[in-house]
Amino acid sequence: MTQPGDSFIWDDGAAPTCAVEGAVAAPVPLEGIRGKLTCKAPLAPYTWFKTGGPADWLFEPADLDDLKAFLERLGGEIPVMALGLGSNLIVRDGGVPGVVVRLGKAFAGVEETGDCELTCGGGASGILVASTARDKGIAGLEFLRGIPGTVGGFVRMNGGAYGREVADVLVDCAVILHDGSFITLSAAELDYGYRHSALPEGAIVVSARFRGHPGDPAAIGAEMERIAAAREASQPLRTKTGGSTFKNPPGHKAWELVDRAGCRGLRLGGAQVSEKHTNFLINTGTATSADIEGLGELVRDKVYAATGISLEWEIQRVGRP
């Protein structure tokens, strides 16, 4: 059953395949392309859950120009998906059709580019952004320390933690569309809502500008330490998990609803609802993506039966079952 916020990647059956003995029939001519293109690339190592099938193609661009050239050659004919730290993601066991783009070091920089303003690569982590802001005396970005992902991911989903969200601090973002065209979108144009943006499907955030306000580095650091300690105390950070599973319904906390429905510790195959924080699912070591997604759906059913509230997935689920 589909629900609002569900995310799918459709497979038209025309995904490229590897030729005999490992030779690759690339989806586009590769002359001049400097990045790394891998056929049938395992994605499980790149996700926090450590589950899921391969990408038909995994592209790791050398830099912005390389990414733009590659996508221009694709011409929008093949599905494209960006992959960050894999923290808020279930890659289904059948793998992901089309091309998965993983941004590396060339997209992970953070620099001060204006008054209390940072320009951050789409592959930069929330921890790096918050730490750089601290070092520059820029307050207001501490909450990014509590988001386990990259700039590209939390710009797309309006990530938030500890009472703040990306919409509060984003100036604009630079985006490459799936056909290689390059645009800049302001925060207003993204039409942000709770864990939602109007970023086009297949678009890749390559950089973003965040603005805070002047602050004392020591005070900023103390707030970041408080956030880190709160996460450690309340979340199962040392397990194979995917972050918050469900969105908080208006007027409710998802974890309280899950707990009320008796789902704390609930298991399906190798997947389990965390005993420590019931809005987290964990891979106990043997889970498949089907186990994890199936457990999430079981929890949704139990919460609806107990409370009449239909939880919406926060974790993105992609690929073929």
Catalytic residues: 195, 244, 314
Token digits for 69? 């050239």
CA 130-131-135 angle, to 5 degrees, is: 120
Element at 152 (helix H, strand E): helix 151-156
Q: What's the sign of the alpha-carbon dihedral 87, 90, 95, 101?
A: negative
d(CA 108, CA 43): 20
d(C-alpha 128, C-alpha 171), whole Å: 18
Do 139 and 124 touch, CB atoms closer than 8 A?
no
The two structure tokens encoding residue 190? 């993204």
Residues 130 and 164: their CA atoms lie apart, in Å, by: 13
What tokens does 111 get? 């620099």
Q: How far apart are the first and last CA of the chain?
A: 14
User: Smallest Cα–Cα separation from 246: which of 286, 209, 273?
Assistant: 273
Say how far residue 127 (Cα) sits from the centre of its chain: 14
Q: Distance between CA atoms of 130 and 217, rounded to whole angstroms?
A: 11
